[in-house]
Each structure stands twice: as structure tokens, then as C-alpha cells.
Structure 1
């Protein structure tokens, strides 16, 4: 039983608990595990897009700004694509699935990208590091961890209010 609630969460019910959740104080109760799961889902798409964008930009000899823009665009693309795959797989038409993916992931991915790219931009030498440099990979790993740490409470707050990943959850079953 979660402290401060009248709901018992076990296994799968813990993931479902974020829907039920508008308690007497107006805010929903969402477990940290649920928020972390939603954040990891978004982080997967972001990481794929970030790395692919950096690889493509570097391979094409682009500068930092266009490479970062490509990485951000691809992070959003792959983040949305992972959600679309699940929602369309549940039998939802593409137009509705796109709306669900946009509602589910936009804020999460935006926060993640802001933190991730902020860390990379501020890390000494990271913007000039090449794919073969340890600095590149260490900075990227730290940036993604920082993005996860900052975005998880954002997702918890949103899911508890029936927003963000909560709108996609009914299609994951």
C-alpha cells in the first residue's frame, strides 16, 4: 500500500494506478516506478535519435548547430515512433495514434532534449568531441542520465493528472 493513499498497488496494477488517480486533493497519485517506466520509454527514442543525429551530422561533416538540430528532430521522431508503434499495434487508426503520441510524449521529449542538449552544450569540450572520443560517449551518457532524472518527476506529475504517458497507457495492453 502506498503511503497516503487508499489503493493497494501490486504488479500490473501499479502501472494502471496512474489512471485512477485523482484523489481528494485534486491531484492523482502516480508511483515513481510508473513515471520511471514512461521516462525510459521516451528516453529510448531520444537516445536513438540523438546518437543517430550525431553520427549522421558528424559523418557529413556538419557543424555543431546543424548536427544538434538533426539530433533533436530525430529524438522527437523516434520518441513518437515508439509510441505510434504500440498505439497502431493496438488497432488504432493512424490519425488518432498520431494525436495520442503527440499528447503522450511531447512534453517528456521536450524536457529531455532541453536537459540532454544543455548538458552537452555546457560540458567543456563535448561540442568538439568526435564519435571516436571517450568524451563524446561519457558526455552523452551523463546527459541522458541527467535528462532521465529531471524528466521522471515531470512525467509523474503529468501522469497523475491524466496527461502525458497516461493518454497512451490504454493502448499498451
Structure 2
């Protein structure tokens, strides 16, 4: 076997997949997929929290606390389940999920809840268009803001790049 050809192939593979710790930045597609993965878990948790808090007539603060807590729980859970399926033990999977998702979820929650709070949607009812447009609009804004952050982190072997090692 020609070792030079093998080495070149390996170097090419790492350059083509910077999420595995190679040099250079991650692709926008990779960053968007990571952000969408994270956003899905966040959205499920946050919507559930907002619906529960609003339906129970809780105030704004406890409703937002519940929504943010559930966003983190569901966001981490998606990654945690994927890592467990890949064969990682629970403790290691939790560590990887925390490393992979914390920054992404935190930015999404800050942006999304900022949009919701600034729009006045926290005082809207579940049947109000304002409630749902602010919630969904906040997710869209959070996606746009978080994707470049994830691109930067993945390109440096952090964030979702940590998870890709287990796929």
C-alpha cells in the first residue's frame, strides 16, 4: 500500500469534514443542521412550557422559567438519546450533550424569549395570534442568530462537533 496516497486521502477526509476536528471552518449546511437539531428540542420544550404556564394562568416569570427549563431538557434529550444509541454510557453521554448543546440552547433561549417578551406576547392567550407569531418568529430569529455561532464552534471542534465523533 502506498503510504503517501493513504496520508493524502486521510488529510483530504479531514479537510472535507471540518466538524471532526480538522482545520478551517464548518460548512453552513453543517451548522444549519446542528442548529435545526438543537432548535427542534428547544421548540418542543418551550412550546410545551408556554402552553402549560399559560393554560394554568401562571404569571410571566414562572411560565418563562418552565418554558426555558423544558427547552433545555428537551434540547439535551435529543442529543443524549442519539449518543446512547451510538453506544455511549449514560454519564459520558450527558457530558457530551452538555458540551455540545449548552451554548446553542442558551443563545436560542435568550433570543427567542427576548422576542416573546419584547412583543408583549407573554400577556397574550393561547388563542391569540400574537402568542403564536411571537413564539414562532422568535424561533426563526434565534435560528438565524445561532447558526453562525454553531458554524464558528463546529469549525473549532466544539459544540456539535463533539457529537459528530460518535456518529
Point out the structure with the larger helix share: 2
Alignment of 1:6-17 (within 5 A): 16-17=17-18
For structure 2, the 5+ residue unaligned runs are 1-10
- Partner SS, residue 38 of structure 2: helix
- Aligned residue in 1 for 2:98: 102
- Aligned residue in 1 for 2:152: 157
Alignment of 1:1-173 (within 5 A): 16-22=17-23, 28-123=24-119, 125-172=120-167
Task: Tell me by how many angstroms 1:59 deviates.
Answer: 1.9
How many positions carry a matched residue from both structures?
157
- Partner SS, residue 171 of structure 1: coil
TM-score by length of 2: 0.89
- Aligned residue in 2 for 1:25: none
8 Å Cα contact 2:19-2:26 kept in structure 1:
yes
Separation of aligned partners in 1, 2:118 and 2:135: 12
TM-score by length of 1: 0.86
Root-mean-square deviation over aligned CA pairs: 1.8
Determine which structure has more spread, i.e. the larger CA radius of gyration.
2
Residues 88-138 of structure 1 deviation map (CA, whole Å, 9 limit, x = unaligned): 001110000000000000000000000000111111x31111111111111
Structure number with higher relative contact order (C-alpha < 8 Å, ≥ 6 residues apart): 2
